[in-house]
Amino acid sequence: MPKVKDMDDLAFPISFWVAPPAELVRYQEVAECGFTVVPVPAETPDAGRYALDLAQQVGLKAVIVDPRIHRDLPDQPGWEGVVQAVIDDYGRHPALWGYFLTDEPSFGHFANLARLTKAFQERDPAHVPYINLFPNYASAEQLGTVDYRQHVHAFLEIVRPPILSYDHYALMEWGDRPEYFANLEVIRAEALWAGVPFWNIILSTPHFCYRDPSPADLRWQVYTTLAYGGKGLAYFTYWTLDVENYRNGIIGLYGQRTAKYEVVRQLNLELQHLGPHLRGLTSRAVYHWPDAPQGARVLPGDGLVASLEGEVHGGRGQFVIGEFTDADGLPWVMVVNRDRERSVWTTLKLRTVHGVAEEVARSTGRLRAIARDQGVEAGRRYADGLVLQFWLAPADGRLIRLSG
């Protein structure tokens, strides 16, 4: 797949659905919340360029949502001229990150989207033609295929997009969708096959029968995505829509910051500090312990992570473990507490020749020694590996590099 310059300019793209009004104070609020990419509805080219100017003033990149671009466009005579006109209107603007093509297409749309994607990439290779896919709980009628993995594979094979984006809203009023990790498994595997990064769009706004995400729910969605190798994230939604039973988004119905704003801001700032490291990592494996949800795999214990033990009040810890390598071939591990209610005292046993373990500090983005408590060293070196002990907060994760 071709590389896209502006995608490389962002350590970790963080975006959302449902944009605020195109006003400087609102775009400043978006930037302060730690977002890096803002969607820009552009009813006219002038309106689009004005919003891009605002984004540039506050250091944001933008995805243009222009009504001239849609998935049926290639069926119209002169459609390539429309693509060129849109590029002429926005392509030279320094705040532009990409062009929105469509959301949740069916298999029958892929041929047109391949033509659209190719037209944009040939004429403006510096910017992303963005498409978002259905989750795995979509029906066969929606997907246009019986099998979800075939839907994703066909999309990558036919359309050849520079990124793979999908949405999955797992948080229901009755509990969690059991397909959440199975969806991550498919997206991770297919993104690796295609050699493209993937994004997950997560739930932030309750609507229909989706519940209102707690701070731990939000953290759980973010850090499980990272453990699977996600390289971008978006929230549904930022602004609260005045439709159906939408409520309590990051910004409320009357434009006020809700309590969720500070929770998301904290997560986004952590992502900005983790991002420069995450972007250079290649996912090698993802495991769960002590049990595996639907579609996932239990830690086998015969690889880098030999074992993982967790002590919580009244039970055992639950984990997601992502294994990675960087450009220098060094191993990295992300350990995530799958429990959204209890902190876990974690003992991580690694089978490795490396003798130094460092974590990424989310306050600075720098690598540092892993401290157990009050500066007490968290690791011990043995002849055949390392043992690390540390606390994980509910739904929290640590990104660890091995070296030396």
User: Which of 392, 326, 333 lies closest to 357, judged by CA?
Assistant: 333
In the CATH scheme, what architecture does the domain 5-278 have? Alpha-Beta Barrel (3.20)
Residue 344, phi-psi category: left (phi > 0), alpha (psi -120 to 50), beta (remainder): beta
For the chain, give every domain's residue range.
5-278, 282-403
Between CA 299 and CA 321 the distance in angstroms is 8
Q: What is the pLDDT along the chain (404 residues), one digit of tens a residue?
A: 445 555 556 889 999 999 999 999 999 999 999 999 999 999 999 999 999 999 999 999 999 999 999 999 999 999 999 999 999 999 999 999 999 999 999 999 999 999 999 999 999 999 999 999 999 999 999 999 999 999 999 999 999 999 999 999 999 999 999 999 999 999 999 999 999 999 999 999 999 999 999 999 999 999 999 999 999 999 999 999 999 999 999 999 999 999 999 999 999 999 999 999 999 999 999 999 999 999 999 999 999 999 999 998 878 899 999 999 999 999 999 999 999 999 999 999 999 999 999 999 999 999 999 877 766 677 888 888 999 999 999 999 999 999 99
Cα–Cα distance for residue pair 166/151, rounded to 1 Å: 12
> Which pTM was predicted?
0.96
